[in-house]
Chains A and B, each alone.
Chain A
Amino acid sequence: MRSVSKYFDGGETVANYKLDLEVEDGEFLVFLGPSGCGKTTALRMIAGLETPSEGEIYFDDDRVDGLAPADRNVAMVFQNYALYPHMNVRENIEYPLKVRGVPPEERDERVAETAELLHIEDQLGSDPAEISGGQRQRTSLARAIVREPSVFLLDEPLSNLDAKLRLEMRSELKRLQNELDITTVYVTHNQEEAMSMGDRIAVMNEGTIRQVAEPQELYKRPQTTWIANFIGSPPMNLFEGTQQNGTLDLREDNTLPMKGETASESVSLGVRPEDLTVSPDAPDSDWTIQGTVETVEPLGEYVLVNVDVAGSLVSVKVPTTDVRPGQHVHLLFEPEDAYLYDGDGMLVA
């Protein structure tokens, strides 16, 4: 995609603004972002269901943004599966082959193959209304992959499934994509899905791509405070402060040593909840922040301690703790686990 933009209502609504993105052959790319960030519109432009207002879309070296969906050899799975209610599972899967004039014998063969791949051989004669959500999802996947598309587009395909099925389908999808090696673009607002499935993730907000990175890098080096806030559960803690004369002044007498620039500047310091430790005694380190414990939530796997630092809540993930609400504590972290963002929210160090 080369600076692709999409406007609605005569330019009043900007759905996408100057998207630049390259997806490798066989790659699994995830569009991740909150509702209304334009990720679905971006997907629909790739599918050909929307025409870009500006910009160009290429599949390999062929420009496709003027082509109808049918001429792009893309397959799409919709959030609500979009199964044709008057056709049974077999006819649904067969339909794209039928409209493309594939002879009946070959159709039968390919439907059988695909159904086997997705474990829905037994449902072929059923109507969509008679099968479970998971089976509908599989049918809709089967319909998409049966004609071996060059690009596979998925629009929040798991959001209508219950939690257990979602996990199951997640690994199933990943397996399929590995097996078939089809270039895949996947839209979701669920970061866990994005992190677990994507080869790369394009984080979107307000119609633009904020960062494209591999899941680990996205987590380790979020490029803006917005992404830092969006990725992770609970998200990264951000401390606002001013940087001057080699120190970083956070509110309420928390000063951290800081090398580098001398100019006074407002900045944010980001630390992930799991990189913080909490201790009632003053530790022997310059990298501490003081606060008061608000709540302690034992969650089994870890304990979540919410600490009030200068009026804002800071989350700390620790394996165990003996601090109690109301206690004055020190939050300790290693300088290499901290991220510094400038006044515009961009990553500095």
Chain B
Amino acid sequence: MSLENDPDGWFDRDVDWEKLKAILVFMVPGLTLFAIFSVYPMVYSVGGSFWVWDAFDPMHFVGLDIWVETFQDEAVINWDNIKELEYPMGALPQNLIWMVIHVPLSTFLGLGLALLFSDLRGRRILRSMVFLAFTTPTVVIGLVLLFVYDPQAGIFNELLRTIGLEGQVRNWLQEPQLSMYALILGGVWVQTGFSMLLYSSALAGIDPSLLESARVDGASRYRRFRDIIWPLVKPVTAVVVIMGMIWVLRIFAIVYAAGGPSGGPNGVYSVLGLEVYQSAFSHPIEYGRAMVVALVELFIALPMAYYIARMD
């Protein structure tokens, strides 16, 4: 290319080639890891979802057959039960229902607790107690839920007996139409610790003189929350909501611990993660189907990850 064909003056520009080289060298390790562990599995799954597999070897190309089969599979989407609003509705709708209930609940509970604890004595201990659930392995949370909802020894049923609701006592994790909500509550308990922590630090970041100024300006407690606190913690809300959605999308251990690989009786609380696990690790092994379900998860998560990454 000659200089006459260079209207932008690219070749006149002072490009520091040494610096550019150094930047590239420093990027190689990170990009390599990213390529091996992120890009390659995604591309491989997309490709692999068009093949029938024998264990880990692709056997023959079937095009979109596996995709069509998967979406017609009642374990993934059960159209009949969705119309009746009855469980099991399939892993995908159940996972989405989980999201719709879980995310607002854990977000508002987290904000509420953060506000409640913000100027309370002993707030550190209280915060630690709430956050403890988030630090606990989710498998353990699932086991704890088994105990909590146990019909004989469970504290939840014990509570019902104490307040005189003897008739409501049951094994909450075996009730097809209720067990899903029982598990969601457990998930909310975990995620609330996380959202509370984010909100607490966001609240601590608000200049106290802003709230004092609003008080002097005549704003009531509610107006101070609506006009000052809420707009200032909004960016955190976006993070909390999206992290919550991604967390629910990846949910696995709680469900597995509470109901085994089938996701409770008849799969009434099966989720996408469980479907991937079942297809890939239990007989008959259907590797293509596992990839399709995993890709569905990925497609739901991608725009959220993109949004988070674009935030200032």
The reply to whether the CB of A163 lies closer than 8 angstroms to some CB of chain B is no
B217 engages A80 (CB within 8 Å): no
Stretch from B70-78, B181-189, B225-233 that touches the partner: B225-233
Query: When the two chains form the complex, which single residue of A48, A75, A82, A100 contacts B207, counting CB atoms closer than 8 Å?
Result: A82
Known: A85-B232, A86-B231. A49 touches B215 (CB 8 A): yes
Q: With A70-B220, A95-B227 as given contacts, are A82 and B212 in contact (CB-CB < 8 Å)?
A: yes
Most buried by A among B207, B215, B217: B217
Is A84 touching B212 in the complex (CB atoms < 8 A)? no
Is A76 close to B, CB under 8 A? yes
Asked if A68 CB lies within 8 Å of chain B CBs, one says yes
B210 within 8 A of A: yes
Do A78 and B215 touch across chains, with their CB atoms under 8 A apart?
no
Determine the distance from Cα of A49 to Cα of B217 in the docked complex, in whole angstroms: 12
Contacts of A70 in B (CB 8 A): 215-220
**Cβ < 8 Å to B, chain A residues 76-105:** 76, 78-80, 82, 84-86, 95-96, 99-100
Interface string of A233-269 (1 = CB under 8 A from B): 0000000000000000000000000000000000000
> Does B219 contact A49, Cβ atoms closer than 8 Å?
no
Contacts A47-B216, A99-B220 known; 5 new A-B pairs at CB < 8 A: A49-B216, A69-B215, A74-B216, A82-B210, A96-B217
Whether A69 and B216, one on each chain, are in contact in the complex, defined by CB atoms closer than 8 angstroms, is yes
B249 to chain A, nearest CB (A): 31
Q: Main SS of chain B's interface residues?
A: helix
The yes or no answer to A189 lying at the interface (CB within 8 A) is no
CB of B136 within 8 Å of the partner chain: no
Enumerate chain B interface residues (CB-CB to A < 8 A). 207, 209-210, 212-220, 223, 227-228, 231-232
Query: Which of B214, B220, B232 counts the most A-chain CB atoms under 10 A from its CB?
Result: B214
Which chain B positions have C-beta within 8 A of A78? Answer: 209, 212-213
A-B contact count (CB 8 A): 60
CA distance A258 to B179 in the complex (A): 98
Known: A78-B209, A80-B207, A82-B210. A48 touches B217 (CB 8 A): no
Does the CB pair B218–A100 fall under 8 Å?
Answer: yes
Instruction: Give me 5 A-to-B residue pairs in the complex whose CB atoms sit less than 8 angstroms apart, sorted by A's number.
Output: A76-B212, A82-B210, A86-B232, A95-B217, A100-B218
- Closest 9 interchain pairs by CB? A96-B217, A70-B218, A82-B213, A82-B209, A86-B231, A69-B216, A78-B209, A76-B216, A99-B219
B-side contacts of A86, CB under 8 Å: 231-232
Q: What 0/1 pattern do residues 49 to 81 of A give for CB contact below 8 A with B? A: 100000000000000000011100011101110
B142 to chain A, nearest CB (A): 41
Is the C-beta of A200 less than 8 angstroms from some C-beta in chain B? no
| A317 on the B face (CB < 8 A) | no
* In the complex, A143 has a CB within 8 A of chain B: yes
Chain B residue at smallest Cβ distance from A149: B216
Closest A residue by C-beta to B218? A70
Chain A residue at smallest Cβ distance from B217: A96
Q: Which residues of B contact A96 (CB under 8 A)?
A: 217-218
Instruction: Give every chain A residue within 8 A of B209 (Cβ-Cβ).
Output: 78-80, 82
The answer on a CB contact under 8 Å between A84 and B228 is yes
Q: Which A residues lie within 8 Å of B223 (CB)? A: 99
Give A339 Cβ to nearest chain B Cβ, in Å: 41
Contacts of B214 in A (CB 8 A): 84, 95, 99
Q: Considering the chains assembled together, what is the distance between the CA atoms of A214 and B244 in angstroms?
A: 62
Q: Are the CB atoms of A76 and B213 closer together than 8 Å? A: yes
Q: State which size class the interface on A falls in.
A: 20 to 34
Contacts of A85 in B (CB 8 A): 210, 232
Rounded to whole angstroms, the CA-CA distance of A68 and B212 in the bound complex is 11
Q: What is the bound-complex CA distance between A76 and B213, given in angstroms? A: 7
The minimal Cβ–Cβ distance linking A124 to chain B, given in whole angstroms, is 18
Q: Does A99 contact B218, Cβ atoms closer than 8 Å?
A: yes
Tell me how far the C-beta of B214 lies from the nearest C-beta in chain A, rounded to whole angstroms. 8
In the complex, what's the smallest C-beta–C-beta distance from B221 to chain A, in angstroms? 10
A76: B residues at CB distance < 8 A: 212-213, 216
Q: Whole-angstrom distance between the alpha carbons of A314 and B210 in the complex?
A: 46
Residues of chain A within 8 A of B231, CB atoms compared: 86
Give the complex CA separation of A148 and B12 in angstroms.
Answer: 63
Shortest distance in angstroms between B57's beta carbon and chain A's nearest beta carbon? 58
Which residues of chain A come closer than 8 Å to B212, judged between CB atoms? 49, 69, 76, 78, 82
For residue A321, give the distance in angstroms from its CB to the closest CB of chain B: 49
- Give the distance in Å from the alpha carbon of A75 to the alpha carbon of B213 in the complex: 9
Q: Which residues of B contact A68 (CB under 8 A)?
A: 215
> Among the interface residues A47, A48, A70, A75, which one has the most CB atoms of the partner chain B within 10 A?
A70
Is the CB–CB distance between A99 and B217 below 8 Å? yes
Given A78-B209, A84-B228, verify A48-B216 contact (CB < 8 Å). yes
For chain A residues 129-151, which have a beta carbon within 8 Å of chain B?
143, 147
For A82, the chain B residues whose CB sits under 8 A away are 207, 209-210, 212-213
Q: A79 vs B220: C-alpha distance in the bound complex, in angstroms? A: 23
How far is A82 from B70 in the complex, measured between Cα atoms in Å? 57
- Chain A residues with Cβ under 8 A from B218's Cβ? 69-70, 96, 99-100, 147
Residue of A nearest to B211 (CB): A82
B81 to chain A, nearest CB (A): 46
User: Once the chains are docked, how many angstroms separate the CA of A100 from the CA of B219?
Assistant: 8
Question: What is the CA–CA distance of A80 and B209 in the complex, to the nearest angstrom?
Answer: 8
Cα A31 to Cα B231 in complex, Å, equals 35
Q: List the A side residues contacting B219 at CB < 8 Å.
A: 70, 95, 99
Cα distance A110–B276 when bound, in Å?
A: 64
A150 to chain B, nearest CB (A): 13
CA distance A21 to B108 in the complex (A): 47
Which residues of chain A are within 8 angstroms of B207 by Cβ–Cβ distance? 80, 82
Kindly state the separation between the CA atoms of A7 and B216 in the bound complex, as whole angstroms: 22
Minimum distance in angstroms from B145 CB to a CB of chain A: 40
* Alpha-carbon distance A95/B218, docked complex (angstroms): 9
Q: Are B215 and A84 in contact (CB under 8 A)?
A: no
B220 neighbours in A (Cβ, 8 Å): 70, 99
Give Cα A96–Cα B218 distance, bound, in whole angstroms: 6
